[in-house]
Amino acid sequence: MAAREDEGKRDDPAGKASQAEQPQDEGKAQSRALVPESLVRISIGIIILGGMTVGAFFLITDVIAPHLGPKQEETFTGSAVDEQLLPVVEAPGEQYVVEDIIVNPSGTRGKRFLRLGISLETKDGPTVLAELDSRRAQIRDLLIRKFSRRTLEELSDPTVREEIRLSCIEEINTNLLEGEIANLYFTDYVLQ
């Protein structure tokens, strides 16, 4: 057998037999080249990216989103528990309106302004309304002082606005001789 291989090599000095083996190897290489390696990698990357997108969607909608909103309590209708949980709706008290208060917020150099209107609610009757009317100038002065001390950023913040509202109620109530203010409502609040 070895003698035959040697004879084949002698008869074929240019190596034609090895060329016959090369087309088979090239065919295998061409079959591998039909799907380039870079295309395979891109396809795998797209599949992984799609899986990550679906996973992120479910993570956000099922795990994170339920914790973002306010917690809702389960209620059962027709039970004694409902009667205890119902908020008591009170009739509104009498209103004393203070309109068109215009102030320049601190640090604006007169270029910006706040226009506000308020309504003071009392449940103590017309005597408190009469006293509020006699103290109209004091109430306007109080509101102008409270709001003009604040910066534009503070007046834009709802928590600061609520803080000012509560302090105004407290200070007005300390100045009243009879009765008290139950609430203060902003009927106009324009910041420009």
Looking at the structure of the chain, the number of domains it has is: 2
- CATH number at 131 reads 3.30.479.30
Percent of the chain clearing pLDDT 90 (strictly above)? 15
Mean pLDDT throughout 50-75? 76
Q: Is the confidence at residue 42, as pLDDT, over 90?
A: yes
Q: Which domain holds residue 22?
A: 16-67
Contact 136, 120 (CB under 8 A): no
So what's the pLDDT on residue 85? 62
Question: Which among 120, 128, 131, 106 has a CA at the least distance from the CA of 169?
Answer: 120
111 part of a folded domain: yes
Contact 90, 102 (CB under 8 A): no
Whether 104 and 186 map to the same domain: the answer is: yes
Mean pLDDT throughout 16-31? 53
81 part of a folded domain: no
Q: Is the confidence at residue 155, as pLDDT, over 60?
A: yes
82 part of a folded domain: no
Whether 29 and 115 map to the same domain: the answer is: no
Whether 182 and 114 map to the same domain: the answer is: yes
Q: How far apart are the first and last CA of the chain?
A: 104
52 part of a folded domain: yes
So what's the pLDDT on residue 76? 53
Whether 187 and 103 map to the same domain: the answer is: yes
Whether 47 and 135 map to the same domain: the answer is: no
Whether 98 and 62 map to the same domain: the answer is: no
Whether 53 and 134 map to the same domain: the answer is: no
Per residue in 63-89, is it b (16+ CB within 10 Å) or e — as a string?
eeeeeeeeeeeeeeeeeeeeeeeeeee
Beta strands in 25-110 (DSSP E): 94-103
Q: Is the confidence at residue 77, as pLDDT, over 90?
A: no
Whether 152 and 103 map to the same domain: the answer is: yes
75 part of a folded domain: no
User: CA 93 to CA 124: how far, in whole Å?
Assistant: 8
Least confident of 34-38, 128-132, 139-143, 164-168: 34-38
Residue 164: CB atoms within 10 Å:
19
